[in-house]
Structure 1
Amino acid sequence: MSAVLAAQSTRDALLTTDLAAVAENTRRFADLVGGGAVMAVVKADGFGHGAAEVARTALAAGAGALGVTTLAEAVALRAAGIDAPVLSWLNPVDVDVATACALGIELTAPSLAHLSVIADGCAGTGRRARVHLQLDTGMARDGAPPRTWSALAAAARAAEVAGLVDVVGVMGHLATADEPGHPATAAGLAAMRRGVAVARRAGLRPRARHVAATSAALHEPESHLDMVRVGAGLIGIDPSGRTRLRGALRLTAPVVQVRRVPSGTGVGYGHTHATDRETTLALLPLGYYDGLPRAASGRAEVLLAGRRRRVVGVISMDQAVVDVGDDAVWPGEVATVFGPGDDGEPTAGDWADWAGTIPHEIVTGVGPRVRRCAR
């Protein structure tokens, strides 16, 4: 083998979404909580899997509604021709209410200020905004704190009577559902029950009470209420790590260079790794800009030529080096960086462990120059 072999392949790094896996996972949740009671959360471009593709697949497999964070994400779903119920729950106070109403996009009201803007935005349009009141059930994050909840419920009822809004839901979120049985989950559910009772005393009749995300849907049956919001679970992640779901994403890249090096060769920036024997190094055209976390340097592995191979040296912005030992590897051969694990390849969970993070960050962190496809 020559010292350096230039790549002959023109194939790019490729991120492939397995829509059959999304469908299988969705059906699992629909069977668990009842058909139509799953809100498929497709925020952050469907957790990096393609929002429109994941949304269509989940709806066909039994989900009854969609959830996103921003209004822009919801508008993009409508532009893609998706007409299912869509809830957007994280918007500034000056959200474009007219657009939301025109497109039938539901909005959350986490504060009196948000509710006021939503009601004012509907005045004179002849349309009612469909609103989910959002209660802080223990995260000190989004949602109305309990001390303002009664006032928010009363104001929402007044806006209903005025013909400006229709309060269709009450929502919260659980801080510790990733740890089944954690006492904070029981406290959060109790806060949700109190909040719904307050809303009903104010004259509201929300039809969709929802507080559970993926982990709670899987492990806390009392949290199911009228609907569960499933995002990570759609694409194969149980944040609690207790349930095996089907991974839906595969990241591959071709080898672009191969070189034979002697023992003692320093690899990459800072020479944080030096070879302990004569060996072959393969170069992949992926780095931290493309979603390979730099913190995984020296620990991560890929599947190449039928075996797991360790990434050596520091992962740089555009490149990662893999030690293949004495095996024959050629430019153009394709490495699997992560996938569902069915063929022995690393998973997004493996990469998360190597980087000291969570799989959500791995699957949503793949950079824009990686080509995407869904099948």
Structure 2
Amino acid sequence: MRACLRGNVRRLAAASRALLGAALLTASLGCAAASCPWPAWDSFKRDTISADGRVIDASTPQQTTVSEGQAYALFFALVANDRPTFERLLAWTENNLAEGDLASRLPAWIWGKREAADGKPESWGVLDANPASDADLWIAYALLEAGRLWQERRYTALGTVIARQVVRQETALLPGLGRTLLPGPMGFHPSPTMWRLNPSYVPPQLMRRFAALWPQQPEWAQLLSSSARLLLDTAPRGFSPDWVEYHAGAKPGFRPDQQTQAEGAYNAIRVYLWAGMLAPQDPLRAPLLKTYRPMADYTIAHGHPPERVDTRSGTVGPNSGNGGFSAAVAPYLSALGEAAAAQRQVERMRKLAAEQPLGYYSQVLALFALGHLDGLYRFEADGALTPAWTATCPVRR
């Protein structure tokens, strides 16, 4: 009898320990899976993303959607631990920009309303099928990091396939530069010895992450190296250009872009944002912060970033950058140790947003910048994403 009782007690104790362990595990997982409050993301979802997962640029007559917008929104949904929205964004992107199969087709760049013409009624669909490599990189990155953080193999597999497609379709071996990211598969190699490149398309943290994930594939290390040169060697006056030319020949190298007259404006503003969000341990952080110091000096002296700059001379145009520009430079100023100046740009952005709602592009710049400054996410030294929901949510400012 005593032996039987002792056995029952042991079994009850073991069951209790198992239940307690399961409860603690559930509590732990529930804590890790909790979403951190992010009102700006909630507003963006409500005002800019359709119910079926399309990011709409309402400022355009065609009510367009660009692959870049879908890519950024996927990243924000992961930062917010918002898997239902992530799934809707991914499904819409695949079904409408990739003909239903992202595993075999890179997404089209732009989708929207087609005008009625030649007897055909107004319709909706792809307006330009040429993919955009920056969007493709961000989509691959968001999927790979979602696969790791949410432990979902499907995301990892799809992100890997898209990254491989980028290498095959959107890179080229440039003499004297090595394997380099092109802005898209078509239209950026107008002559046998010249290519057009875009510095804002190569966020260093993304390139470093891909190189870290696949060290056995030399293409990614080469892309990281050429991206660093693209960022560092094209800003002689401390301002990044929107576009730049690369010429082969006897003296290969970068030259000012003739189409845009070497202007730095709405593309280039992202370069300062990417630099400001780099991990302190990233080897590119210090040289990039130093290279772009004139942008910080101008912003601090005038209270706002410039809208347009002639990057050949450093001559600044007459107009100030909008609220999105102020948001974009804030992490860069913060990384330089200019915390007060960064806060002034955040306040300027909020003041301008209160006077007139931010458009799609300014909203995504603000989501990147303020999400980072508020501690909702960070990039690690190897480019990996660490959202706040994997640890403890930050105290809101």
Normalized against structure 1, the TM-score is what?
A: 0.28
Structure (1 or 2) with the greater strand fraction: 1
Structure (1 or 2) with the greater helix fraction: 2
